[in-house]
Each structure stands twice: as C-alpha cells, then as structure tokens.
Chain A
C-alpha cells in the first residue's frame, strides 16, 4: 500500500511540475471557461425570475467542455512522446497510474473552476453558497473519472480530439443532469425533487469502481 501511494504521488507530482512549466492545459481551459461565461452572459436576456433556470446550465456547459479540453491534453502528451510506454514498462500497479492521472485532472480542472466561480457569480449576479462547491467537486469527479479512462483510449488514435467527446458525452449524461438540477435546486429550491447530490455520489462511486477495474485493459495493448 505504501509503494502504491508513493507511485501515485510521484506520478501526480511529475504531472503538476510538467503542467506548471507548460501551463498549456490551465491556460486553455481557463480562457475557454471565461469566453463561454461572457458570451452566454451577453446572449441571454437575464432577469431575476429566469436566472436560476439559465445560469446553472451555462456554468456546467463551460465546465464540461473545458474539462474535455484538459482531459484530452494530459494523456495525449504522454502518448505523443511514447512516455506512456515507459511508464507501463515500470513495475507500477496500473490502478496507481489511473488514480494519479485522475487526481491530476481533478486538480487541473478544479483550479480553473475555483477561478471561474467568482466570475460566474459576478456576471450572472448569483450567490455562491458553500454547497455549490460540493456539487462542483462531485460533478467534476464524475466527469474526470470517465474522462480519464476514455482519454487513454482516445489518445491512442489519430482523431483523439474528435473521439473523446463522442465517447464521454453519452456516459456522463446522468452526471450532467444531476449537477445541473442540483445547482438549480440550490438557487431556487422546489419540492418533490429527487436527492440529486445522493445520486451524484452514487454515479461517482459506480464510475470510479468501473474505471479502476478496467483501466489496466484499456491502457495496455
């Protein structure tokens, strides 16, 4: 277990250091989120009575598309330089590689989201309750678990930028519905709504378990 955690930390630290030197993923995702929020803010006629219906959708469109940009880059860089082969040649549990890549993706997306949330609140004139952070964390975890798994598959193909959204979007539909409805509930609570946060946790657990179990077969030949 100690060696497993040491491997996870070493891969994660390497990815962070690499990203800090290139800043490609962070800058790309950050610019994308900012542009989406600004464009939607100008596009929609926002009034007090419709903001809770529109704003959550805008927020999650920005986060989901930005996440896919970042997820595609992190593993494509490993594949392009064939460094993934060298990582696989090491006596490392494949689950440790998956977990490190997932944590890295969560961190990269999370930083962009933390920067974007105050801008979103300012542009759409909505409050930022603490519970929104929990929803963002759970939603990002759901997207990143599936996204990390499929970005390995997509990175091995020539059309990875095209393939990744096609593979990931249908699978994350339950997460997308849950996070948007949970965010709406937070802004304008209604009665008889399903427990969206509970459903999100369930989806995350299922996605994480399946991804951990299947990553070995996906990443190897």
Chain B
C-alpha cells in the first residue's frame, strides 16, 4: 500500500496541490427515445438538469463536505468524479487525471462508499466479496490487506458469513473496507452516516482521520449540518444543481449555515 500512497500528491510539500478540480460541470439526463416519442406525439417529461455549471477544487489533504437537499445533484456529482457517469459539459480531474479521457487512472485513485450499500454479491461471504474486489484492483497481498481492513472495521467474527446475512450497519462496514482496499487517494463517501449507530459513527470518524493523516483527501455528502461543520475543512452547498455556497468552515457558525440551507431548501 505504501507504493500506491507514494504516487499521491504530497500535501506537506505542496500545500495548495489540487486533488480534485471540478470545472464548469453540467449534467443533463436526456429523455429516452425522445425522437420516437415526438414522432408518435407521446407525452414526455423534459430533460433533467442535474448539475448546472458547477466549479470547485478540493485540495490534497482536505475534507470536503458537499451538502444540499434531495435532488440537488450531490450523487450525480459524486458519480461524475468516480467516472461512473460523464458530464454533459465541463470537466473533472482527480490528481490531474481527467475523469473521461483518463478514467482508468482516476479509478485507481478513487474509493467510493455510498449510503446503505447494497452493491455486494449477497450469496458470497464478506471475505469473498472483498477478495474479489481486491483482485479487481490488483491489490498486492490481497488476503493480508483484506484481513487488515476487516479487523480495522471490526468485522473479524462475521467475515465468513454471507453478506445477505449481515445487518445493515455491518454491510456498511464492509463497504468502507472495500472503498479503502486499494489505498485510494480520494475517498468519496455518499451520506456515510445514514443508518449508523454511535459506534459506527465513531468508527467512520476514526477512519476519516487516518485517511487524512496519510495525506489522502475526502469528499463526503450529507444532510447533517452539524456533522459537516465539525468534520469538513470546506463546505459546498448545492441547490437545484448549482453551487449556492462555498466557504471554509474555519470561523463559520452553525446558525449562518442553517439559515443558508433553509433559504436553499425553501
């Protein structure tokens, strides 16, 4: 893992190094079979504009909080950075690699864990799932790495059980272990605290701190304003697909943030 981490941007040597650059990104989901629907004069909903000219940077070693109401475009933006979808306009880069033109390198640098993860093979055990993804990332010494992470997320006793038999919180822990398997530079956490107990929340806090300590960067989305204020170095608020707020959290108070959030959601 140290080999992989050696390729990261070193925040100590270049404090202003950019880990993620989102440059005028727009995303419109087209209407399927639009011409056919027009030809047959069928009713159709207009195309969905999920993101409209969104720009911001995430510095290396930064915890970046992305907040906004439902449908603001948080998940779409996370998926664009993770290379799962392509922007309609604009570009996003991770460690200087374009998410469209250089997608394979971006994938090596990104770990993603979503809210209430279901994206596992439910008839395989937690260990088999993690070993499979370790092979996909060609992680050296996969067994050792998997067991190291399983211990770290506190799942040693249930690792040989099928994922389908695990509780929601335990599946979430497997998801964090998977996101960190290949020691990615950037962790993308989509609402990581959904459905977590106190122990789970403490664990994720510790994992985030460890990731930052080794020079990684984190982008997380959440609805919880208190959490984003405590955890992140910078906050970007999205409203109807636009950036409506972009501030560093140092010196920011909860009331101001809550007022802005209410204005956006209303």
Chain A interface residues toward B at CB < 8 A:
3, 6-7, 10, 14, 17-18, 21-22, 81-83, 85-92, 221
Contacts and interface: CB of A to CB of B under 8 A. Distances in A.
Nearest to B110: A89
Given A17-B128, A91-B107, A82 B119 contact: yes
B245 interface: no
B95 to A, nearest CB: 14
Nearest to A15: B121
A18 B82 contact: no
A17 B131 CA distance: 13
B168 interface: no
Nearest to B128: A17
Given A85-B84, A89-B107, A10 B121 contact: no
B118 A81 contact: yes
Interface stretch (B132-140, B144-152, B205-213, B232-240): B132-140
Interface residues of B, number: 26
B1 to A, nearest CB: 16
B119 A86 contact: yes
Contacts of A92: 136
A104 to B, nearest CB: 13
Pick the 3 closest A-B CB pairs, nearest first: A90-B136, A10-B135, A21-B123
A14 B121 contact: yes
B257 to A, nearest CB: 31
19 contacts: A3-B138, A7-B136, A17-B124, A18-B123, A21-B124, A22-B123, A81-B121, A82-B118, A86-B178, A87-B136, A88-B84, A89-B82, A89-B84, A90-B107, A90-B133, A90-B137, A91-B105, A91-B136, A91-B137
B174 to A, nearest CB: 12
Contacts of B112: 86, 89
Contacts of A10: 132, 135-136
B136 A18 contact: no
Contact of A89 (B83, B118, B121, B128): B83
B221 interface: no
Given A90-B107, A221-B84, 20 more contacts: A6-B135, A10-B132, A14-B132, A17-B128, A18-B123, A21-B123, A82-B118, A83-B120, A83-B121, A85-B84, A86-B119, A86-B178, A89-B82, A89-B83, A90-B136, A90-B137, A91-B104, A91-B107, A91-B137, A221-B85
B86 interface: yes
- Residue from the set A7, A86, A89, A92 with the largest chain B CB neighbour count within 10 Å: A89
Interface string B196-230: 00000000000000000000000000000000000
A208 B88 CA distance: 31
B135 A81 contact: no
Contact of A7 (B83, B86, B123, B135): B135
Contacts of B138: 3, 6, 91
